[in-house]
Amino acid sequence: MHVKMKMHPLYTDIPKPERFTYPFCYEPHPLCQLAAKEVQAYVGSHEEIREDADRGKMFGVLIVTPSTPLNPSAPYYFLAAYSGLLAGRNDWDYFVPPVFDAQQPDGYFKTKEREISCLSKESGDTKEMSQDLQLWLFHQYQLSNARGEENDLVAIWQSYYSREKLRRKFPLPPGGTGDCCAPKLLQYAYQQGLKPVCMAEFWWGQSTKEELRQHGNFYPACRGKCKPILTWMLQGLEVDPDPETFGFSRLEVKTVYEDQAIVVIDKPSGLLSVPGRMEQYSVETLMRERYPESHVAHRLDMWTSGLLIVAKSMEAYHALQQQFIKHQVKKRYLAMLEHSRVSGIPKKGTISLPLRPDPMNRPRQVVDDEHGKRAVTDYEFLSDDMVALEPQTGRTHQLRIHCAHPEGLGRPIKGDELYGMKANRLYLHAEQIWFHHPVTGEDMHFVAPLPF
């Protein structure tokens, strides 16, 4: 292994961070941004790599320091990696190798894979053999952590999901676990005695139907495949705390309308509608301090602002729920989209893209024509960057994906860090709502001024 070919010097006086990156929620450190630019220049200059990467590929950089200084003018080095294979290969000199190389033509995995394929054509009953081969492969992934400990992928996975209920739900890693950027980078650094400093991952190329990403944007490590193994691999490093455990600002809400049955409020961006897994403070908890029997009748994403109906009693809540079930409630959102060169999008139309959760990367949703649930949005451009959105259905992240997806508007909502680029807020606002009063049956219509 040519270690020096994998280590790339960074000639900079940028100070290093105090702690290592928490990989599931982070702002890329300037050192990582500098390294990412070099990787992007390399990919762009290498025709074979670029052609494959243009179809959509995640790359990662890890800033390291060697155990003994190699060059006084280069205090840091970076390692680079890609997820899966790149142009059908996993042995590019510029990038770190895989944790385990299963692509050797004469190796056990490929030989057994060919054998199973031949048997499948003859008998078709090879499911158990395929499962055994996959389990064998997982055991070959011998991973290290910063404490100098070593364990295989299956043991690490099952240790993470130690509770019996979770163990039954996640008995083994999904296919491809261990082949993402972050495990490759950390494993190589530990093997070579390099000290990890900070890390980041970015997307190159076009979005795919499964991976709704934006070219050049940084993204956190995937939780489904990487959370169990990175939690173990980072042991022994001083890591930034999870920002989601900090708690959120105690934002107030503006009352738009109130009577004996309901309250209509204007929710600020950054406030949960209902209590979450890590944070209890929300519109619902705030309202229950005033009205103990109150319930939020519907939800807005935390970073979406705008109109929200709160029922003061269970009777009013159930009456409102029936209106939502029967699609009798109409909502209109305004969204500011990222600047884009996308052309040919009609000024007005309807988007229909079915959605389902991405179990390997929650809370992200994906478009799935086969298993997704119906999701329909009417839209109308009010200006080059501002669009009015009227959802006919209420799927999670529906408006965000319908704007960002190449088969939708092809332009993420500004500030959408999941499907676009992070900003100071998500530029999505629930501007208007129409419904029937749950007690009197009166037609109700409210408007919340645009806050951006």
Task: Retrieve residue 3's tokens.
Answer: 């270690």
CB 398 within 8 A of CB 355: yes
Euclidean distance between CA atoms 413 and 400, whole angstroms? 6
Question: In 3-state terms, what secondary structure has residue 311?
Answer: strand
Whole-number Cα distances in Å, 426 to 75, 383, 393: 38, 18, 21
Quote the radius of gyration of the chain (alpha carbons, Å). 25
Residue 215 DSSP one-character state: T
What string of DSSP letters covers 231-252? HHHTTTS-B---GGGS------
Task: Retrieve residue 75's tokens.
Answer: 């205090």
Which residue in 23, 57, 97, 25 sits closest to 278, CA to CA? 25
CB 261 within 8 A of CB 438: yes
Place of tokens 């099952």: 158
Residue type, 305: S
CB 43 within 8 A of CB 64: no
Euclidean distance between CA atoms 200 and 235, whole angstroms? 18
Burial 293-302 (b: 16+ CB within 10 A, else e): ebbbbbbbbb
Task: Give me the active site residues, please.
Answer: 301
Euclidean distance between CA atoms 42 and 68, whole angstroms? 27
Partners of residue 150 on adjacent β-strands: 144
Task: Retrieve residue 49's tokens.
Answer: 């790599």
Task: Retrieve residue 278's tokens.
Answer: 């890590």
Cα dihedral 227, 233, 235, 238 sign: negative
CB 61 within 8 A of CB 35: yes
